[in-house]
A and B are shown apart, each in its own frame.
Chain A
């Protein structure tokens, strides 16, 4: 027979007013297995807890029920006290009397409250009899972080983690880190040059002895769980030996073949052996194997001939490496909505209709025009430029329903940059609303209008077409109620920010959730904005949704603090509320595997003594399981049970009803 103690709290008068706690104590003492009961004014007070602990020891209790306030309030308190008294903390159960009985049933005779409390306490007692000792799960932590994506968010996360003393690997799929920010000319609202503030961070990341850069690499496979991820990374062949290359540039100087530059968004050419931009980190070129004649048909090979340190190696192949990490920061960034989606604005058809990002390159001192604003078709200086906002954003039919958040600001910035470079030029902006929430943002937009003379027209553009070397824009000015037609030299579209192609595949590899636009889901949008449902995987920057640089940087730092907290000890402890498989009765139908929201159930190979696989059975990974119990209901043979909420415990409570 168990030895159970029942402690009924009066909570001052909060419970006592409608529940006769002494009667509850007296009545429950008559139940089988109950050896000690008491009613006390404040169980959670210091003296209350002392008497609780003393009662456990004196009566050699093996289980305790505290009938008091909600378990959300003091379950931890009493479990800790029970543990201090030598009990396993999971042999302590709470009956919720205050929030779910005494406070909600205002019966002055106290009959209703007392009866219900007795019922609830009886249910808890019976449930408790089926409790098993559980021990917290400890998981070893590999103190090494993986940052996926080497944009500003990823760089910031990596730097902060590394400054905290922990090792970091940045995996970047392009040949250089820097991301989209490296393309920007100047940044709002301070107008400092993007390269000037980003480059030092890139270099710092390269030189930091705790940071390793895997550029031109992609994550192929992620196994394991918090503290213990095993990640397979594909290092794409660069055909250049990174250990010997000095980045002198001789090879790309001499390479006779050209291709459209991805970094310059097609505004200029690059060589077939190239670095994406002059300040690339690492400053090591890669060979575009889809275009290199040496690789394709064994002709040329000029780069290898001119390379002093003999770093060119045409035999290199993609390499798969598997490494261990304790945490993963996902900072895969965004891209602009592809041009095929904007037929009505002439994008992709009319040469002088460009995207906002292309304008950044035109305005950038390191860009194809050296910072001079020239229109792509004839390289002349445009005198009238029309900026169209919300190109794709807030347009559920043709684009996306959300606001891309940064376009209002960067369009204002564009008009200023344009005016600063073309003093006699006129900028027109078609907009729906101006959203300039943020420190000094509104003032910035006002400056563009009032100081730099941008003409803001509220309305949508209905038609864009080419006529005599001009781009004709027809649209509405809803404020004056008139139709407008502008003969422009160039049109700049503030195209929507969208998730990267393949963002869903990455999410599936990682086992994290994403929304219908393939932006990644936070664990909680307000209170856990950088966590994901998969413990140990964090999110930073625009892979979550549109955001500006300060936000991305903050998120990078936020993830770093999460990672450093995780790495603060060698082992982490987790609540043992996890599912467990009875291997005797598992059918291996994998319904649990399919229904688990956390990819926490694996197919385990059962081997005989010779090592032959004789069976495959489900196995719950304690590190990944969050204890929801979906698998328990999916399992027809009830081969899975959920510790803390076992079938026996629930059954006992129902059977007491």
Chain B
């Protein structure tokens, strides 16, 4: 399919069209002094001056809390009533190319040994309209992990900002189908309509992903005192994992009153002390640097080798949100040598 065009004003038509077909339109909006992904009903709500929303759009396919089943305790035992997964057609507008690459990574986790339908059913219904970045901040490092504002991995449709609108490039079948389904909202690209220049963040000096991977693979390095020295300031808040587009750990818990309740799947984070605490009281990751090491290993060794997928997309959220300013790229640099 050839490129299309949609003006900023024209977005309202697209939103209406998506809604009319029973879908929802998610885009970056301003909420309590932060840009976040939220369902919108008009184009005016959408902000265009942002680096990245605070939250990751992984929430759409992997919500923070998910009810898996309802249960009831009776004299005859426990009756369990599974909850049907309601997946809605969802359009994510304005995702950044870095983040777009993340769902693929999540998909490999949720499908390798067991197909987690709570995730896949939702993911199937998500159409990602990524928007090439015309700005970057100090924390962006997609180029360091071999992505860029021009990356298309994980995007269904690529959008490129112009003076008054966006040039629309469908990338996948899903993307083509989406543009076709809402063809009224798009026009052909007018002559002279120019893409704004994409801005690449600077590559972090000294990072070599191959060397990094090799080094992490060597077990003696696991107990290198460097880990503690580099990460002992980590306060274990887990804000990084909860903002990260590729973090995917969860916990299943039953919550309710005496005779009934719900089984819920909740986000969990390897940064929490409780995450690995055994019933015996022993905790294999008993100090914070071990927990941080785990997250780092997960991103740059375990998942890349296990699934050949990108563990870190360089969105920089973890650096922005970190209250102690622990910079993952510092570790990447240190561990590349």
Contacts and interface: CB of A to CB of B under 8 A. Distances in A.
A126 interface: yes
Contacts of A1: 77
A32 B257 contact: no
B192 interface: no
Interface residues of B, number: 9
A31 B75 contact: yes
A126 B256 CA distance: 14
Question: Chain B: interface secondary structure?
Answer: loop
B86 interface: no
Given A655-B257, A656-B258, A32 B73 contact: yes
A657 B74 CA distance: 16
B75 A34 contact: yes
Interface in B217-268: 256-259
Contact of A655 (B74, B75, B258): B258
**Which secondary structure dominates where chain A touches chain B?**
loop
Contacts of B22: none
Nearest to B281: A584
A652 interface: yes
Nearest to A653: B258
B115 to A, nearest CB: 34
B74 A32 contact: yes
23 contacts: A1-B77, A29-B75, A30-B74, A30-B75, A31-B75, A32-B73, A32-B74, A32-B75, A32-B77, A32-B259, A33-B75, A34-B75, A122-B258, A126-B258, A584-B281, A652-B258, A655-B256, A655-B257, A655-B258, A656-B257, A656-B258, A656-B259, A657-B257
Contacts of A584: 281
Contacts of A32: 73-75, 77, 259
Nearest to B76: A32
A530 to B, nearest CB: 46
Contacts of A122: 258
Interface of A: 1, 29-34, 122, 126, 584, 652, 655-657
A6 B250 CA distance: 41
A29 B75 CA distance: 8
Contacts, number: 23
Contacts of B258: 122, 126, 652, 655-656
Interface in B33-82: 73-75, 77
Nearest to A122: B258
A277 B150 CA distance: 107
Contacts of A655: 256-258
A30 B259 CA distance: 12
B172 to A, nearest CB: 49
Contacts of B73: 32
A122 B73 CA distance: 13
Top 4 A-B pairs, shortest CB-CB distance: A656-B258, A655-B258, A655-B257, A32-B73
Nearest to B280: A584
A30 B75 CA distance: 6
A16 to B, nearest CB: 26
A6 B224 CA distance: 62
Contacts of B77: 1, 32
Residue of B75, B256, B281 with highest tally of chain A CB at under 10 A? B75
Interface string B76-106: 0100000000000000000000000000000
A584 B280 CA distance: 10
A1 B258 CA distance: 14
- In the complex, which of the residues A29, A32, A126 has the most CB atoms of chain B within 10 Å of its own CB atom? A32
A452 to B, nearest CB: 79
A180 B259 CA distance: 69
A240 B73 CA distance: 80
A560 to B, nearest CB: 49
Interface string B98-140: 0000000000000000000000000000000000000000000
B255 to A, nearest CB: 11
Best-surrounded residue of B73, B256, B258 (most CB of chain A within 10 A): B258
A636 to B, nearest CB: 16
Contacts of B256: 655
Given A32-B77, A33-B75, A655-B258, 18 more contacts: A1-B77, A29-B75, A30-B74, A31-B75, A32-B73, A32-B74, A32-B75, A32-B259, A34-B75, A122-B258, A126-B258, A584-B281, A652-B258, A655-B257, A656-B257, A656-B258, A656-B259, A657-B257
